[in-house]
């Protein structure tokens, strides 16, 4: 297939080239523009329900984007993502509600504690093993956090969860405590996760992660600090998950240990596979398809997991690189002049 | 002058098997040196011990004055010692260009003063026309070249090449020789394991012969191929062909 493309290359010198290249440059933006439109609908439309869905999608997308760093770029199976999400939700809520910490101070604090925990779990798990061991250890760790959350009644309210009436105080004069304010908070977190992914994608660190994903041994012999990079990717991912968790409590006013459970992580993995693992736009596309559409069609509760199973099977069979992967291939072919 | 690589009494055991036995070598800077020996002589094991794949059971290894015994491969690479693998090990799902950019990891570090000895590896080594091809789809000769190009791209001052010529056509062999010579001319020390003696003896100034884990001969290609021990251990009836 590549050889064919090679042969067609001279065709690029035809006048249609500039047209094609312009279009090829616009197409990826179309994805981002549709994201912006989708996110803007709640604000323009203004119905409470749409704002609610918009916030939910933004939070889920931010989670998927942050999981993509350790999973898509570094290729490491971290099963503790939802656990760190719930951890962030609990820690920030407890800090604010029980200790009177300012919400904006509680976010970095929760992130810091999550980062330390992630490093403590990640380093021994990744030092000599990685692979399936990391999946098992992080799974066990996530379950451990969930069990702590559901049994430490005095602090977390136990298995029934806890009501938290936390609302963020104004930040730089912006009121973020209303439904729309929380929506913007979630969008802000999503954009921050995207920005961090974008920076990693273009950096030396990001290329090192991709090298590890493709061939760990070769990467190490070319000078990539494999263990260090994997742990760093895991810590960054988990830290961002905790950050997104901080927005959950004020949004839902209720946290339960279910938030930390492993099947939430598995849903996120489904989102990544669907959207295109290891691409910047993939997690967004996956979230919109997987959470957005069912939510809007109001079939979410009943059929989400069934849908997930079917979608993953279809995607793995027909577009192993995910939706974003298919887009990227199309764009690459467009640039080469093959329609 | 300080040797690029000094190996002191290195022994590598796997359980009861002694793969490498008390090897002592000094490899000076700026040479192309061959490492030959029959199958199972311990050549790749010696490379593995030197390149940080595993810690030698006994002995010490010094590179560029640093004791590098048993240190991690990425730290060795940072010091300038980089190996390639038997056959060709590349990132099959990355394009040639992406692979080379990835390999430049060390020279791209902010505080790094190191630069690849060949400025434009891609065009110098004839990889330009494959720039956007997936590395896994390259012809085997080009894949070898890419493996070496990536090693050069790290900014290495010494390369260990493990059987770079195996299975290549005559034309590809000539190209590979040219590449190794040009890397050497740019100041890189090269240590190469090779079974193809015609290929090897044309480029090396010195050949080390390993048999059953021990060094049995060490000298110029001519000396080595006339050494009766070597003929007995390795070259056998092919000795005439080599001369």
Any A CB within 8 A of B62 CB:
no
Interacting residues of A7 by C-beta distance below 8 A, sequence separation 6+ = none
Using a CB-CB cut-off of 8 Å, the residues of chain A touching B81 are none
User: What's the mean per-residue pLDDT of chain A?
Assistant: 80
Distance between CA atoms of B179 and B196, rounded to whole angstroms?
Answer: 16
Interface A-B: count of C-beta contacts within 8 A: 66
Residue A245's domain comprises: 28-260
Q: Do B133 and A226 touch (CB under 8 A)?
A: no
| Structure tokens, A144 | 């451990």
Q: Do B74 and A211 touch (CB under 8 A)?
A: no
Number of alpha helices (DSSP H) and beta strands (DSSP E) in chain B: 10, 10
Q: Are B233 and B211 in contact (CB under 8 A)?
A: yes
Question: Half-sphere exposure of residue B152, counting CA atoms within 13 Å on the CB side?
Answer: 26
Instruction: Let me know if residue A122 belongs to a domain.
Output: yes
Instruction: Let me know if residue A106 belongs to a domain.
Output: yes
Q: What is the dihedral of CA A305, A311, A312, A316, to 10 degrees?
A: 170
Under DSSP, is residue A80 helix (H, G, I), strand (E, B) or coil? Answer: coil
Instruction: Let me know if residue A299 belongs to a domain.
Output: no
B239: exposed, middle or buried (C-beta count within 10 Å: 0-12, 13-18, 19+)? middle
Q: Are A235 and A108 in contact (CB under 8 A)?
A: no
Q: What is the DSSP string of B170-195?
A: HHHHHHHHHHHHHHHHTT-EEEEE-S
A298 CB neighbour count, 10 Å cutoff: 8
Q: Does domain B5-242 have CATH number 3.40.50.300?
A: yes
- Give the one of A204, A211, A220 whose C-beta lies nearest to B73's C-beta: A220
The predicted-structure confidence for B117-172, as pLDDT tens digits, reads as follows 777 778 878 888 888 889 989 988 889 889 999 998 888 899 999 998 888 888 88
Higher pLDDT, B45 or A3: B45
pLDDT class for A177, splitting at 50, 70, 90?
Answer: confident
Q: Which of A36, A74, A65 is nearest to A243 (CA)?
A: A65
Q: Which of B77, B79, B66 is nearest to B102 (CA)?
A: B77
Instruction: Let me know if residue A303 belongs to a domain.
Output: no
Q: Are A291 and A311 in contact (CB under 8 A)?
A: no
Instruction: Let me know if residue A108 belongs to a domain.
Output: yes
Residue A25 has pLDDT above 70, yes or no: no
Residue B56 has pLDDT above 50, yes or no: yes
Quote the number of domains for chain A: 1
Residue A337 has pLDDT above 90, yes or no: no
Q: Do A214 and B101 touch (CB under 8 A)?
A: no
Q: What is the DSSP string of A123-189?
A: HHHHHTT-THHHHHHHHHHHHHHHHHHHH-HHHH-GGG-EE----PPPBTTB--SSHHHHHHHHHHH
Residue ranges per domain, chain B?
5-242
CA distances, B236 to each of B36, B43, B120, B232, B241 (Å): 14, 19, 43, 5, 10
Instruction: Let me know if residue A105 belongs to a domain.
Output: yes
Where does residue B33 fall: left (phi above 0), alpha (psi -120 to 50 degrees), or beta otherwise? beta
Q: Are B149 and B181 in contact (CB under 8 A)?
A: no
Instruction: Tell me phi and psi for residue A337, to 5 degrees.
Output: 95, 20
A52: exposed, middle or buried (C-beta count within 10 Å: 0-12, 13-18, 19+)? middle
Q: Are A235 and A122 in contact (CB under 8 A)?
A: yes
Using a CB-CB cut-off of 8 Å, the residues of chain A touching B78 are 223
pLDDT on residue A261:
83
- Percent of chain A whose predicted confidence (pLDDT) is above 70: 77
Q: Do B154 and A222 touch (CB under 8 A)?
A: yes
The predicted-structure confidence for A203-227, as pLDDT tens digits, reads as follows 999 999 999 999 999 999 999 999 9
> Using alpha carbons only, what angle is made at residue A53 by residues A323 and A147, rounded to the nearest 5 degrees?
90
Average pLDDT on B49-69 reads 91
Q: Which of B23, B156, B22, B175 is nearest to B81 (CA)?
A: B156
Q: Which of A34, A40, A74, A81 is nearest to A281 (CA)?
A: A34
Residue whose pair of structure tokens reads 């990425």 in the numeric block? B74
Using a CB-CB cut-off of 8 Å, the residues of chain A touching B55 are none
The predicted-structure confidence for A52-87, as pLDDT tens digits, reads as follows 888 888 898 899 999 999 998 998 888 999 999 999
CA distances, A320 to each of A70, A289, A329, B94, B96 (Å): 19, 16, 12, 16, 22
């Amino acid at each position: 297939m590549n050889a064919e493309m090679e042969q067609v290359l001279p065709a690029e010198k035809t006048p249609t080239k500039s047209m094609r290249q312009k279009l090829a440059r616009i197409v990826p933006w179309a994805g981002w523009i549709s994201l912006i439109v989708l996110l803007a609908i709640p604000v323009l439309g203004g119905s409470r329900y749409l704002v609610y869905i918009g916030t939910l999608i933004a939070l889920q997308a931010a989670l998927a984007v942050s999981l993509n760093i350790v999973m898509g770029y570094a290729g490491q199976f971290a099963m503790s993502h939802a656990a760190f999400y719930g951890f962030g939700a609990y820690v920030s809520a407890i800090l604010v509600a029980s200790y009177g910490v300012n919400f904006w101070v509680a976010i970095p604090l929760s992130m810091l504690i999550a980062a330390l925990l992630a490093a403590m779990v990640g380093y021994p798990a990744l030092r000599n093993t990685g692979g399936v061991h990391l999946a098992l250890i992080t799974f066990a760790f996530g379950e451990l956090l969930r069990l702590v959350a559901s049994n430490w009644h005095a602090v977390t309210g136990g298995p029934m969860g806890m009501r938290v009436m936390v609302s963020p105080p104004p930040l730089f004069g912006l009121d973020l405590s209303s439904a729309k304010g929380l929506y913007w908070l979630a969008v802000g977190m999503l954009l921050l996760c995207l920005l961090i992914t974008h920076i990693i994608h273009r950096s030396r660190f990001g290329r090192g992660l991709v090298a590890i994903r493709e061939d760990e041994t070769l990467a190490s012999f070319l000078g990539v600090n494999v263990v260090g990079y994997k742990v760093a990717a895991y810590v960054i991912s988990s830290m961002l998950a905790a950050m997104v968790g901080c927005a959950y409590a004020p949004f839902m006013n209720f946290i339960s240990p279910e938030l930390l459970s492993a099947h939430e992580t598995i849903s996120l993995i489904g989102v990544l596979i669907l959207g295109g693992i290891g691409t910047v736009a993939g997690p967004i596309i996956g979230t919109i398809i997987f959470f957005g559409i069912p939510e809007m069609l109001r079939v979410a509760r009943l059929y989400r997991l069934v849908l997930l199973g079917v979608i993953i099977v279809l995607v793995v069979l027909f577009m192993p690189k995910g939706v974003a992967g298919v887009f990227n291939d199309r764009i690459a072919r467009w640039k080469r002049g093959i329609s | 002058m300080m040797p690029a690589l000094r190996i002191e009494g290195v022994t590598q055991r796997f359980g009861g098997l002694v793969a490498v036995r008390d090897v002592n070598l000094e490899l000076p800077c700026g040479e192309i040196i061959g490492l030959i020996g029959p199958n199972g002589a311990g050549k790749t094991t010696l490379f593995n011990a030197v390149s940080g794949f595993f810690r030698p059971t006994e002995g010490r290894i010094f590179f560029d004055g640093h004791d590098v015994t048993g240190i991690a491969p990425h730290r060795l690479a940072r010091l300038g010692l980089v190996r390639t693998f038997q056959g060709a090990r590349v990132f099959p799902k990355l394009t040639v260009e992406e692979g080379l950019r990835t390999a430049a990891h060390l020279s791209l570090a902010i505080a790094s003063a190191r630069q690849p000895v060949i400025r434009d590896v891609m065009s110098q080594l004839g990889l330009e026309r494959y720039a956007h091809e997936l590395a896994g789809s390259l012809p085997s000769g080009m894949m070898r070249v890419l493996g070496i190009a990536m090693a050069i791209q790290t900014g290495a001052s010494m390369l260990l090449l493990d059987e770079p010529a195996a299975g290549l056509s005559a034309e590809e062999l000539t190209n590979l020789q040219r590449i190794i010579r040009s890397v050497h001319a740019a100041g890189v020390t090269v240590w190469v394991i090779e079974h193809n003696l015609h290929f090897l003896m044309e480029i090396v100034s010195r050949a080390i012969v390993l048999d059953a884990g021990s060094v049995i001969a060490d000298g110029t290609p001519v000396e080595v191929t006339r050494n009766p021990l070597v003929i007995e251990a390795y070259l056998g009836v092919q000795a005439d062909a080599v001369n």
